[in-house]
Amino acid sequence: MMGIVLDKGKHHTVSRDDRGRDFLSILTPCQSRIYSYILTSVPCFSDADDILQDTIHLMWEKFDDFEIGTDFLAWGKRIAYFLILRYYRKKKKENKFYYDKQLLLKLGENFQQASNSMKDNLAFLKNCMKKLKVQDQKLLKLRYFENHKAKELAKRYGCSVQYIYRNISRIHQLLLACIQKQKSPLKELF
């Protein structure tokens, strides 16, 4: 995920720095959720990263309008939503595929409903990762930690890029099934 980059050149007064600290303290716990929301609507890491960056910039620009005490996450998601719409308008002009507004709204609703149940996902994921086969763990590590591109991995191992993608997909499916299994006893309690 992208880090937070504030435009210090524009905001160098002491009061702005204080506001910046306030902003960061509220943003930090929400940033991951905002990114999840963006990634749900724009399922492409590089594009979602750009939109997150723009969202944070815009949130920072508009931070004076934000009323402390109201829902910061909802405010951030709303700003992200407009940037997502802008992104898809651009895609449409380029004749590239786009999610339509109706689907974005549906996804937004599902995202809202799923939000609470996703709190512990990271912990479950860590647990499930340990249960993966060694070679599966290594593939994920090479791809996401070492940041080797799929093409690069395919070239090194003499297989097609498609094999890499399909294996990544397979591992994702295993992990998600594992997370859901771990979550199911908790569900039953409620």
**Interface residues with another protein (CB under 8 A)?**
1, 32, 35-36, 39-40, 43-47, 96-97, 99-100, 103, 106-107, 110-111, 113-114, 118, 121-122, 125-126, 128-129, 131-132, 134-135, 138-142, 144-146, 148, 150, 156-170, 172-182, 185
Of 94, 87, 76, whose CA–CA distance to 35 is shortest?
A: 76
In the bound complex, what is the minimum distance in angstroms from residue 45's beta carbon to another protein?
5
Pick between residue 71 and residue 120 the one whose CB is nearest to another protein.
120
Q: How many angstroms separate the CA atoms of 38 and 55, rounded?
A: 10
Pick between residue 9 and residue 158 the one whose CB is nearest to another protein.
158
Rounded to 5 degrees, what are φ and ψ at 160? -80, 155
Pick between residue 8 and residue 144 the one whose CB is nearest to another protein.
144
In the bound complex, what is the minimum distance in angstroms from residue 68's beta carbon to another protein?
28
In the bound complex, what is the minimum distance in angstroms from residue 110's beta carbon to another protein?
4
In the bound complex, what is the minimum distance in angstroms from residue 33's beta carbon to another protein?
9
Pick between residue 28 and residue 110 the one whose CB is nearest to another protein.
110
In the bound complex, what is the minimum distance in angstroms from residue 37's beta carbon to another protein?
9
Pick between residue 58 and residue 142 the one whose CB is nearest to another protein.
142
